[in-house]
Structure 1
Amino acid sequence: MINTMMDAWAAMAFGGMTLLPRTTKSAPKHPPGRFSAGEYRSAAGTLRYKLFVPGSWDGTPMPLIVMLHGCGQDADDFALGTGMNELAEESGCLVLYPEQSRSANWHGCWNWFDAAHHDRGQGEPALIAGLTRSIVDVYAADERYVSVAGLSAGGAMAVILGRTYPDLYTAVGCHSGLAHGSATSGHDALAAMRDGLQGRALSATVPASAVPIIVFHGDQDETVHLSHSSGVVRQSIGACGTCGAGKAAETVHSAGGGTSKHAFTCSIHRDEAGEVLAEQWTVHGAGHAWSGGSVRGTYTDWNGPNASREMLRFFTTAR
């Protein structure tokens, strides 16, 4: 069964190609990974976090994935629901889970809709980017592969981070989120989530360079309108500038079956050099939930294609 999302008001307010096969690797010959808590302080504020370090880490640079939970979740819940730590153990990746303070948002949502958190050098983008840089430095993460992903409010904040810090993040994953600039207040956010993409989001100031993005969205999502999936992709491609974006997308359809019982459509957008700018996954029959997630966490739909596995593939091959 699919975990039901909170009511629309609470959720808002704050908040070709084949699926990769499951690994058949034998058990690792190193100690298990560590999942530990920490706290980051800077002029922008204080942020608690959890960090997963795979057992294979020996100081050699590894990719870093920053995972931003949705409304009503925390780092532990999001790690369980997405299963990203298990995949990172297999693949050799660091995974960082910033955790929103309830004093910053009573429901634990990232404040994606507040104009105070839309720009580089201020608010939550500055705080999360600062934490990311500190982990990169301390763990000598591979700076070619520093990605950020999130669900719902976390997905919207991931989009903002990719657009405001394209020098730090090399890829973005947005699951059931919204485009940068979709709202500038709580009232705007309600309308955007209910009615779909607002025109001003696509005309928002764009960064100097585009960051590759992978987007997942269920076509039965009753919390965040499906149109935001296309809006996020169009906004990201629009930031490409003169890189030659505009080729017709390659579209792959799956009727479902096997590990993915939901059918899905995936559209792949490339630049003129053939590099992937965006992947847009529409999961048919899915609601507002992490596709392919685990029942151990909230807001997951284990019947869909595995968003975590596909994002990890995208993050470690982009650029």
Structure 2
Amino acid sequence: DNGVTCIYISHRLEEFFRIADNITVLRDGLVVDTVRITDTTEEKVIAMMVGREMKKRFPIRDSKSGEKILEIKNLSISAQNKMVIKDVSFDLKKGEILGIAGLMGSGRTELVTALFGEYGNQIDGEILLEGKSVKIRSAEDAIKYGISLVPEDRKEMGLVLIQEVYKNISLPNLRKFSSALSIDKYKELKECKKYADDLSIKTPSLFTITESLSGGNQQKVVIAKWLMSNPKILILDDPTRGIDVGTKYEIYNLINKLSENGVGIIMISSELEEVLGMSDRIMVMREGECAGILDRKDATQERIMALATNLKRSYSYN
């Protein structure tokens, strides 16, 4: 209103359609097009961003879950003199995508980081992997049992930003390349390149400092390092937060492919559309408790929010 011109950059398309007059789309460092907001749609903008038309935002899932790979019985966590998680029970099947939804502070992240050894001996309850009771008291324990975690904050918890791309990818897997005296650098780089290529990580080279990559490519580096460890269970905490639509779709396809290969997936998401579009079942957390578990066919945004806010608690654990 005061005559000031604003250039607004965002990954959130809905924001452009609320406040912008024109939108310019860039892809791979080049301008694809500039259009009037009134003359376009979200679908057309996404097509310009990814270089192809996407008929569906989420890839089609052919859900074929197998036997139980993980079972949690009456898990409770006490930290800093308060109960963080209270008596939570659920299971995960091979090839299943279990979504976890809930409001901020509901205990979503605390629950999954506990499965990665975050709380050490502060855990009560039982964890069964492929029917066998196990103790997970550290990240080393989790990795040993085939559990990997892509954390909610990739910069703080998922990456060593000042290190090269290849060092981040190989970091939890150095034993693969180590002998008694040294690390086989050729083997390490060859394996890192394979995963960088498989995930289409856009980087000038494997020796590029990770901090210089885009948010989406940094997230791919985090995922690559855990895929190299061949996990049986992959936990993803808000895996598409702060990345562009095209990279989101690539990550969705990767998650689907992993589940098709029998990997059990636990995925937290702050976006209800995402958790609904990707999950076979959805567990809703509220104040450190499991408020309910919904099958995909029964889940709606309204039902999830009702459970998350305690408006309704008639959906029981199956």
TM-score normalised to structure 2 length? 0.28
Q: Which has the higher contact order (CA 8 A, sep 6+)?
A: 2
TM-score normalised to structure 1 length? 0.28
Greater helix fraction, Structure 1 or Structure 2: 2
